């Protein structure tokens, strides 16, 4: 099973352990860390950890942030032959604040991600895209792709009809679902809606076809849990798991990702997900 991911590559600068500030407020006492991130890179790394053969399409700058941003992808065995070095834009950076309860606030500096262009050809069984690269790039990539096309419609933004019509799987959270509204349901795609601690649902043309709740876990950091869910659901569906089993698998993977700090560092292995599922009815 080969999964291609076209999307963002960031270095996450994380301040954790202090309350999230309100507008105009300064808080202190946080701990500073940095991790590889970006929704695209997170999803590629998570899919690889879950057993897929993965390749990444994206851009980084020619700067000191590029190497640490790609570190886990490289060490994890993701094919980076299609990651380009951009001489005009810096590597993307995400500034993340994480509360003691694991909730987060994120500001993204797109950098080279804003210059990502669609390749002429992608050879893979599935293609996962998000909206942290130009939306027209995602639409163009889908137009040229003949496999299973997955769009994580995050962050929420207006997308062309041709993207919605081409997608085989659309993934949104509750806030994004409110943004897109009924436009989601005219698409022929399978639609996954994540509901945080309440789990997730799968819909097709206005009918709910599956629902699952995640195992109870002690939440440390929710950053990247949605990306793990997207990767896990894609892997499971590509394995021809039933919608219900695929959703259950994805919910378990997403829940596990909240038990560790960071986005990519928290991505679970296939064995960890299966062990959790074995103890969760």
- Each residue's pLDDT, cut to its tens digit, for the chain (281 residues) gives 899 999 999 999 999 999 999 999 999 999 999 989 999 999 999 999 999 999 999 999 999 999 999 999 999 999 999 999 999 999 999 898 989 988 888 898 999 999 999 999 999 999 999 999 999 999 999 999 999 999 999 999 999 999 999 999 999 999 999 999 988 888 889 999 999 889 999 999 889 999 999 989 999 888 889 999 999 999 999 999 999 999 999 999 999 999 998 889 999 999 999 999 986 54
Say whether 33 is catalytic. Answer: no
From 140, 168, 221, 227, active-site residue: 227
Task: Provide the Cα torsion 53, 56, 57, 61; round to 10°.
Answer: -160
The token pair that represents 147 in the structure block: 């496999």
**Is 99 in contact with 125 (CB distance < 8 Å)?**
no
Q: What is the pLDDT of residue 280?
A: 57
The token pair that represents 251 in the structure block: 């919910």
**Nearest one of 217, 247, 213 to 232, comparing CA atoms:** 247
How far apart CA 165 and CA 175 sit, in angstroms, is 21
**Is 48 in contact with 235 (CB distance < 8 Å)?**
no
**Nearest one of 131, 149, 150, 95 to 8, comparing CA atoms:** 131
| 114 burial via Cβ count (<10 Å: 0-12, 13-18, 19+) | middle
* 183-214 as b/e: b if 16+ CB within 10 A: ebeebebbbbbbbeeebbbbbeeeeeebbbeb
Domains of the chain: 2-9+38-89+116-278 (3.40.1190.20)
| Contact residues for 197 (Cβ-Cβ < 8 A; gap 6+) | 214
Q: What is the pLDDT of residue 281?
A: 45
Q: What is the pLDDT of residue 101?
A: 87
């Amino acid at each position: 099973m080969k999964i291609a991911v076209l999307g963002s590559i960031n270095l996450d600068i994380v301040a954790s352990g202090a309350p999230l500030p309100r507008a105009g407020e300064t808080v202190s006492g946080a701990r500073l860390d940095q991790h590889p991130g970006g929704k695209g890179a997170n999803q590629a790394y998570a899919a690889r950890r879950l057993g897929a053969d993965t390749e990444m399409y994206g851009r980084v700058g020619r700067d000191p942030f590029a190497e640490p941003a790609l570190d886990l992808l490289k060490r994890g065995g993701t094919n980076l032959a299609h990651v380009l070095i951009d001489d005009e834009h810096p590597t993307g950076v995400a500034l993340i604040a994480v509360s003691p309860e694991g909730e987060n606030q994120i500001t993204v500096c797109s950098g080279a991600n804003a210059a990502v262009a669609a390749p002429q050809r992608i050879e893979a069984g599935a293609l996962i895209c998000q909206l942290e690269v130009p939306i027209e790039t995602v639409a163009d990539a889908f137009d040229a792709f003949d496999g299973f096309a997955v769009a994580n419609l995050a962050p929420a933004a207006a997308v062309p009809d041709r993207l919605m019509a081409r997608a085989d799987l659309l993934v949104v959270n509750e806030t994004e679902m409110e943004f897109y509204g009924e436009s989601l349901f005219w698409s022929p795609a399978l639609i996954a809606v994540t509901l945080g601690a309440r789990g997730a649902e799968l819909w097709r043309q206005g009918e709910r076809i599956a629902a699952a709740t995640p195992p109870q876990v002690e939440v440390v950091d929710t950053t990247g849990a949605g990306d793990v869910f997207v990767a896990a659901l894609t892997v499971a569906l590509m394995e021809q798991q039933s919608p219900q089993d695929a959703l259950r698998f994805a919910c378990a993977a997403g829940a596990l990702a909240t038990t560790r700090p960071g986005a990519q560092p928290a991505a679970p292995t296939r064995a960890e997900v299966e062990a959790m599922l074995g103890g969760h009815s």
